[in-house]
Each structure stands twice: as C-alpha cells, then as structure tokens.
Amino acid sequence: MSGDVTRALRSGGPPAYATHATDAVRNADPFGEDLQLALYLLYELHYRGFDGVDDAREWDPDLLRLRRAMEDHLLHALRSELSDVPRSVEEAFAPLLVEPVDLSGSLSRHLETDGELWQLREYAALRSLYHLKEADPHAWVIPRLTGRAKAAMVAIEYDEFGAGRADRVHARLFADLMADLGLDPTYGRYLDRAPAPLLATVNLMSLFGLHRALRGALVGHFACVEVTSSPGSRRMAEAMRRCEAGPAAEHFYAEHVEADAVHEQVVRHEVVAGLLAEEPDLEAQVVFGCAATVLLEDRLAHHIRENWDHGRSALRSPLPSHR
C-alpha cells in the first residue's frame, strides 16, 4: 500500500487500490510498517506536502477513500486493544499524575542515567517526525471548541508557537537540538529510517486532528502528552547535559519542564473540563484518546529499548557516526 501511494503521488494518477480500498486494507497489520507509512504519506498532504506533488491531491477522492479505509482499520484495532479502559476522565488521568516508583521501564530514565550519545541521536531523529511540526496537529481542534476550552487551547498553542517569536517556536528549538547532535534538521529528513511504532504515534495525532468527530480524542491525546511531559523532559534535559550534547539540545527539554508543568494544569482544568462542560457526551472519547496515546507510546518505548538492549539501532537503518 505504501508503494502504491508513493507511485500515485509521483505519477499524479489514482492509487491502484482506490476501487477496492477496503479489501486491500482488511488483511494488513494495522500497526505494521506498510499501513503506517501509507497513512503518514497521505497525512503529510495536509501539512507541507511533497515536492513535485500537486497541492490539490490533498483532497483527491481516490486518496481519501484509501485513507479512510486504513483509518477505519486502525481505529478498530485500537478500540479492540483498549476494550477495558477507564470510564471517566478522572480514572484515566489519575495514574499519569503520579510518577511511578519503579522507573526501570522508562525510556527517559534510561537515557538520563545510562544513555549514550548515539542513543540520544537516534531518539532525536525518531522524534523529529513530530517535533519539527510540534503542535500543528493539535491546532486543528481549535475551531471545533468553544468557550473555556477554546480560550485555554489557544493560550497553550500560543506558547508552543513561540509566543510571537519565531526563534522560540518549539519546532525551531527542536531543529536547534538536532544541529547540536549533528543531525540534519530538514523537515522529514528521517522518515525513511522511522519504524512503524514511531509512525503510529505521529499518525494518531493526525487521525484525531483531521476528524471533527474525533475532537474529544484529540483533546484526550493532547492532555495526556501535557500531563506526562514535564517529568520526562526533566530527565531528558539531564541526559543531554550528562552526555554533553550541547546547549540547544539541553535547552529544548529544559524549556518543556516549566512550560508543560503549567500547561498540564491548564489543559486538565480548562481544556478538558471546559470541553466536557459543553459536551459531556465526549468523555468516553477523551478517555479513548488518552488510552490510545499511552498504548502507542508504550509500544514505541518497548521497540526502542528492545533494540538498544541488544546493541542494535532502533531505526530502520543506523545513523552515520558522529564525533
């Protein structure tokens, strides 16, 4: 499917699977590399597109038909995996608000205490697929909110986009981090090296963001990220400092320690609470968005640690050596 999408984008023609999209997708691994890469390519048409691809392909009905079949397949798989989720937002977020005593499975803890520079570089290359467009997927929810939720969401996004200063946009700060680590900060540079578990975490945001019907799930995703970001960012800042990765590399995470500690309060008490005050029937969606985020982030962490623990690259192909 990913090859079919690539050929369709390059040729300007329809994908071969356009007329039987459901049949083509049904037997695919919903979390596998082929489907996740195909989805990523189709979603990218809504961000910056591709050189040589007509911008009008963003709304090509054949591509959208194929994309919808893949989205339905992925959503069904996620809901099947998450059949036993909490019933309330309070239950969903309670375990995320308390840092676990046992951090042995934490990726950021590993990088803080034992991580090596090559591992920090791999982690940054992987995360660049999101951080170079940080906050963009979440901006799609703004016109779908009202009142308290909308005002608070805009306030948080204002910070994410640099509070009016281009040099403080978080995507720019991550590009500076990459430069410190000897990585190429070009947008999308490491897509070819990204494994399926990483693609899935980015695709989840795009999936939720592009569908008004999933606005509650996007809020749940956003809240989950903000609630868990500050402690992890503190550990990552220490990892960058310990490995002498560079001032910009350390600054990116240090910036998120304080900012996301504030954002966590705002997103829970104003965005989530404001949304549910207006649309209480979306509570199950918010819970689903949070649970799906935890599921896919855990799978990514497991993939990375399993490879690193065996002395292997977590990327599809290793990065060139650096200093």
Evaluate whether residue 59 is within a structural domain.
yes
Same domain, 67 and 206: no
pLDDT tens digits, 59-93: 999 999 999 999 999 999 999 999 888 889 999 98
Last residue of a domain, one of 26, 59, 81: 81
Give me the mean pLDDT over the 125-143 stretch: 97
pLDDT cut 70: percent of the chain above it: 98
Evaluate whether residue 147 is within a structural domain.
yes
Question: Which pLDDT belongs to residue 230?
Answer: 84
Same domain, 180 and 291: yes
Last residue of a domain, one of 81, 110, 145: 81
Say which residues have a Cβ less than 8 Å from residue 62's Cβ, sequence separation at least 6: 8, 14, 15, 18
Which CATH number goes with the domain that contains 166? 1.20.910.10
Q: pLDDT at residue 293 above 90? A: yes
Q: Are 26 and 190 in contact (CB under 8 A)?
A: no
HSE toward the beta carbon, residue 173, CA cutoff 13 A: 19
Same domain, 77 and 96: no
Evaluate whether residue 16 is within a structural domain.
yes
H runs (alpha helix) in the chain: 2-11, 21-26, 33-44, 61-81, 89-93, 107-113, 117-131, 136-139, 147-160, 170-180, 196-210, 215-242, 247-266, 273-278, 283-309
Q: pLDDT at residue 318 above 70? A: yes
Q: pLDDT at residue 18 above 80? A: no
Residue type, 13: G
Q: pLDDT at residue 101 above 70? A: no
Give me the mean pLDDT over the 99-111 stretch: 79
Same domain, 131 and 275: yes
Evaluate whether residue 38 is within a structural domain.
yes
Say which residues have a Cβ less than 8 Å from residue 137's Cβ, sequence separation at least 6: 205, 206, 208, 209, 218
d(CA 153, CA 222): 10
Same domain, 31 and 119: no
Evaluate whether residue 323 is within a structural domain.
no
Distance set, CA 275 to CA 77, 152, 223 (Å): 26, 10, 12
Say which residues have a Cβ less than 8 Å from residue 143's Cβ, sequence separation at least 6: none
Evaluate whether residue 203 is within a structural domain.
yes
User: Burial of 281 by CB count in 10 Å (0-12 exposed, 13-18 middle, 19+ buried)?
Assistant: exposed
Residue 22 banded pLDDT, cuts 50, 70, 90: confident
pLDDT tens digits, 296-317: 999 999 999 999 999 999 999 9
Same domain, 184 and 104: yes
Question: Which pLDDT belongs to residue 323?
Answer: 60
pLDDT tens digits, 151-180: 999 999 999 999 999 999 999 999 999 999
Last residue of a domain, one of 46, 63, 81: 81
Evaluate whether residue 314 is within a structural domain.
no
Evaluate whether residue 321 is within a structural domain.
no
Question: Which pLDDT belongs to residue 271?
Answer: 96
Q: Is 14 helix (H, G, I), strand (E, B) or coil?
A: coil
Same domain, 140 and 278: yes
Same domain, 186 and 231: yes
Range of the domain at 189: 89-309
In this prediction the pTM is 0.95
Residue 116 banded pLDDT, cuts 50, 70, 90: very high
Same domain, 142 and 279: yes
Same domain, 76 and 148: no
Buried/exposed 130-161: b ≥16 CB within 10 Å, e otherwise: bbbbbbbbbebbeebbeebbbebbeebbebbb
Residue 102 banded pLDDT, cuts 50, 70, 90: low
Q: What's the whole-number average pLDDT of the chain?
A: 94
Q: Are 316 and 125 in contact (CB under 8 A)?
A: no
Give me the mean pLDDT over the 270-286 stretch: 97
HSE toward the beta carbon, residue 30, CA cutoff 13 A: 18
Q: pLDDT at residue 184 above 80? A: yes
Tokens found for residue 229: 């970001």
Q: Give how many domains the chain has, as a whole number.
A: 2
Same domain, 73 and 113: no
Q: Are 186 and 194 in contact (CB under 8 A)?
A: no
Same domain, 126 and 240: yes
